[in-house]
Chains A and B, each alone.
Chain A
């Protein structure tokens, strides 16, 4: 068996609702601020880090290869190499698994991995036609030739293209993520009430355990005015009652749907980072790691059922490693949508599902919901797409530490039809 990867420490920014508290901090700055904070708290000097790997989904136009930008802005020396990874919603896990593979392969000893996303700063784009005309304006020489195409402009050309909307739409099935959640609600017959109740619990758990969440967060003074700082996830500020949730209209399928913005995760800004090295290196340096990455895997499925990613990935991981569901003390399954998590819970305990889709006789195993997302999930605190993967690993390890337990599973669904699953351990 390959050597385990030690997670020395990890932290994240508080998560902000898009367009709100963190909106004036672009993804690279958000990452840089978080990474600098991690480096201040870690015993490892900058020079010893071999590489910085950052997951990010919507690359800011001004910061291509955001990882390198973040590294330099966070104070890394110019000699530090850095690259960015993209596996959609699992980008923040992909950065960790990439680092793990490099460590196991001997391509460096100490790594920074993480994710950074500012969904507030996803731009609007010009309509293609308008773009064409503007290009002509800049490339043509004579004034008349520059100006003539203006007459071709139509009011509709000025309608901006909202990139966020496009980004959240799967190009293969041509369905926005919310609709893939509707698909699962229908397939698994999950009622609106079940979804709302799940969402309500997520909020309840997060609010009750807010001090636990503080352990993975550092407070951020807020530009542009710096009149206040964001000390905890912005999602916790609003008090959702069952009544509030029930009153909301379906957002994606307005007439016959059941997925609302209340039982989905919010569009969110945030960054998270971990410091990684091999177990033996940590021992040699006499460090006390937060925990270890034991193993991980990714699996793929139809894009329009992408929410089932966790069951596919977990089943694959169990086959590969021999772990079974009862081995875990803590399970973190990302809450992209309530319907999507509930669908997974059903699928995990279903022999039929296992037979039909996973090519195995027996169900993967029933999930004990008292172990699931014990401090709430993305529905309450948000889902900055490139960042969540790293957040799940940190949250799982910190909870294992608090409970003095040993083994955790962190899994999430991935837009475009994939799933990721990580086994993490303490001790």
Chain B
């Protein structure tokens, strides 16, 4: 016995699960085996027993099955057997001839929750760490240890479906409300309370009292779920929503729905077999492997500090100043105040600009309060932590200064120079430039080691990625501080080498450009955007260009054109549009599309600028052409970035692309997509495009080499 400890006293059997040498409990196969042996012993306990199952870890009950094991399931048969084996153990628990209680304190997700569901009763602590959920669909699989069967049977379809289909987590209070748990207890008194709960179960009156609590089901549940017509309505509605949401790219949620649907009215055993079957189809699929790949990337990132040297501690940021209260500056001010809870001083040239900054902050808070992402109370405090000024007062108190003024190198340099003379000597200064040279800016500083680029994306409160760009002399302490700060701000930081456009804009621009070239050649606006969303991108490149704004986009395009020359030519349309000052994209309601109220339609003025020539006639060929041109030119630029060490691994590129531009997660990232499609094929396709469209498609050295040596991005 390693991970399980059984104590039997006064008819109460307490089984503690505590995986040795680990911070959290994971249901690995070997522990499952250990558990199944132990169950034989549990079956022998007298019928007057009450079994309490709990975790020996302070903040986790069971964090789920071992994702590594799921990742190695490469055949349907293996997946099916694994699932059935687990199900049988859980069945045995369910069939124990006496009351059984799962006492949940801390994280209880996936296989952990499925185990808890096999117990007759569940109680939970009210700790913040107590979270319950079935996140399997996020990994491209479904709960396969009875989750799709036992949960709907226990709490009803209407409460169970959202949990199973979306993978969202709920806290103890919500779990009590939907009767997923029978009671919740204060975490400080948890041990005593679960013992008392166990003792209650020793008497029939006690059992009755607890069972009676469960019976208070809402009337609507009986009315709808007990009749076939009601069920059809529920399932159809769920299916429709899922189809719209997954766009056919993510099979797991629909499969989970199918498992629930088929199992809800049959026997548990039939339902379980069916569940295992459906699971076994998903587990070996490429989509699931890709999503698991991203899950691991995410886990790695959590551990990433920005330096290998563990002794370098981040500077504690207690006071921040933002120079420039524009859209970006005020968004960053809001982030710091809301999530870092530090006072933030927002400086701009005149009071009007400062007030506008407050206005955009208010709009962000209002939006997030409405979406229940932040509470009104917290938001009021965040608002009070922000102050505005047109002078320099208070900047000397800051340990973190963000420069977010106009994108002009000389203006930025002189600003940085004057800031440095006012601030504390240990203060860290960053520039939120989107494409100007960090090394050039660093030249204006006396102590460039405290300076780096920190590129937030617009709108700041929505975009999860932050590019951190060290200059040549940036210290490790500065980098470590910025990585830690980004995480505090709920952002995903990546370290990128200084180059025009850094990573994201550098690869995004050729992609948008290519869409515009395609437009110029006669593909229609909707055709282009539809093809790309079909590929899985959240929005098409032309709509994205409108969202970013033409003024901003054109500035970046020019900088990148200067930096990379013929590889990033400016489409002629762009300069034509640039003369038209009211065509700024979404912000002026006019760009590639015309926006009025909530609808958008292609802008006829754009169509006048393009020459109609139909190159390919078949719809499918045209779609493929658009996808390959846009995605592969981006991929080619990505490989050039890897070649130039702009970013240090394909893993990081993949994660950055998913977070930064919404590259479809089911592909597992752009490098993984290339690996799976075959580097050779990609090089061939690029070469084909090169002969048709010119040198912007010349395959990178890295790609050619990988193709030659039969390697992939991930194996290089």
Binding site for B on A (CB under 8 A): 29, 32-33, 36-37, 40-41, 45, 73-75, 219, 221-229, 231
A40 touches B354 (CB 8 A): no
B394 touches A41 (CB 8 A): yes
A45 to B388, CA, bound (A): 19
**Chain A residue at smallest Cβ distance from B393:** A41
A224 touches B384 (CB 8 A): no
Residues of A within 8 A of B358 (CB): 221, 226
Query: Lowest 10 CB-CB distances: which A-B pairs, in order?
Result: A40-B394, A226-B359, A221-B358, A226-B358, A221-B355, A229-B355, A219-B351, A41-B393, A226-B362, A73-B384
With contact pairs A41-B393, A221-B355 given, residues A36 and B384 touching in the complex (Cβ less than 8 Å): yes
Residues of A within 8 A of B385 (CB): 75
With contact pairs A40-B389, A224-B362 given, residues A29 and B384 touching in the complex (Cβ less than 8 Å): yes
From residue B358, how far is it (CB to closest CB) to chain A in Å?
4
A36 to B393, CA, bound (A): 12
B387 touches A40 (CB 8 A): yes
Listed by A's residue number, 10 A-B pairs whose Cβ atoms lie within 8 Å are A29-B380, A40-B389, A41-B393, A75-B385, A221-B355, A221-B388, A226-B361, A227-B355, A227-B359, A229-B355
List 18 additional contacts besides A33-B387, A226-B358, A231-B351; criterion CB under 8 Å.
A32-B384, A36-B384, A40-B345, A40-B389, A40-B393, A45-B397, A73-B384, A75-B385, A221-B354, A221-B358, A222-B355, A223-B362, A224-B362, A225-B362, A226-B355, A226-B361, A228-B355, A229-B351
From residue B392, how far is it (CB to closest CB) to chain A in Å?
10
| B332-353 to A contact mask, C-beta < 8 Å, 1/0 | 0000000000010100000110
Contact of A33 among B381, B384, B393 (CB under 8 A): B384
B362 touches A36 (CB 8 A): no
Q: Is the interface of B mostly helix, strand, loop or mixed?
A: helix
A111 to B393, CA, bound (A): 21
A32 to B343, CA, bound (A): 12
A75 to B343, CA, bound (A): 7
A73 touches B362 (CB 8 A): no
B359 touches A229 (CB 8 A): no
Residues of B within 8 A of A225 (CB): 359, 362
From residue B559, how far is it (CB to closest CB) to chain A in Å?
33
From residue A136, how far is it (CB to closest CB) to chain B in Å?
30
* Residue among B351, B362, B384 with max Cβ neighbours from chain A (10 Å): B384
Residues of B within 8 A of A222 (CB): 355
A227 to B351, CA, bound (A): 12
A229 touches B354 (CB 8 A): yes
**Chain B residue at smallest Cβ distance from A41:** B393
From residue B383, how far is it (CB to closest CB) to chain A in Å?
8
Residues of B within 8 A of A221 (CB): 354-355, 358-359, 388
| B266-292 to A contact mask, C-beta < 8 Å, 1/0 | 000000000000000000000000000
Residues of A within 8 A of B388 (CB): 219, 221
A37 to B358, CA, bound (A): 15
A231 to B355, CA, bound (A): 11
Residues of A within 8 A of B343 (CB): 36, 75
From residue A75, how far is it (CB to closest CB) to chain B in Å?
5
From residue A77, how far is it (CB to closest CB) to chain B in Å?
11
A385 to B384, CA, bound (A): 23
* Residue among A41, A221, A222, A229 with max Cβ neighbours from chain B (10 Å): A221
A73 to B387, CA, bound (A): 12
Residues of B within 8 A of A219 (CB): 351, 354, 388
A73 touches B381 (CB 8 A): yes
A40 to B352, CA, bound (A): 20
A41 to B343, CA, bound (A): 14
From residue B338, how far is it (CB to closest CB) to chain A in Å?
15
From residue B246, how far is it (CB to closest CB) to chain A in Å?
39
Residues of B within 8 A of A36 (CB): 343, 384, 387
* Residue among B345, B356, B361, B387 with max Cβ neighbours from chain A (10 Å): B387
From residue B456, how far is it (CB to closest CB) to chain A in Å?
21
From residue A219, how far is it (CB to closest CB) to chain B in Å?
5
Residues of A within 8 A of B345 (CB): 40
B387 touches A37 (CB 8 A): yes
A75 to B362, CA, bound (A): 20
A40 to B359, CA, bound (A): 22
Residues of B within 8 A of A231 (CB): 351
* Residue among A40, A227, A231 with max Cβ neighbours from chain B (10 Å): A40
**Chain B residue at smallest Cβ distance from A229:** B355
**Chain A residue at smallest Cβ distance from B319:** A75
From residue A8, how far is it (CB to closest CB) to chain B in Å?
14
A228 to B361, CA, bound (A): 14
From residue B359, how far is it (CB to closest CB) to chain A in Å?
4
From residue A288, how far is it (CB to closest CB) to chain B in Å?
16
Residues of B within 8 A of A227 (CB): 355, 359
Residues of B within 8 A of A40 (CB): 345, 387, 389, 393-394, 397
Residues of B within 8 A of A32 (CB): 384
A226 to B383, CA, bound (A): 12
A73 to B384, CA, bound (A): 7
**Chain A residue at smallest Cβ distance from B381:** A73
From residue B322, how far is it (CB to closest CB) to chain A in Å?
14
A229 to B390, CA, bound (A): 13
Residues of B within 8 A of A41 (CB): 393-394
Residues of A within 8 A of B356 (CB): 226
A116 to B250, CA, bound (A): 57
From residue B384, how far is it (CB to closest CB) to chain A in Å?
5
Residues of B within 8 A of A223 (CB): 362, 383
* Residue among A32, A36, A37, A226 with max Cβ neighbours from chain B (10 Å): A226
Residues of A within 8 A of B359 (CB): 221, 225-227
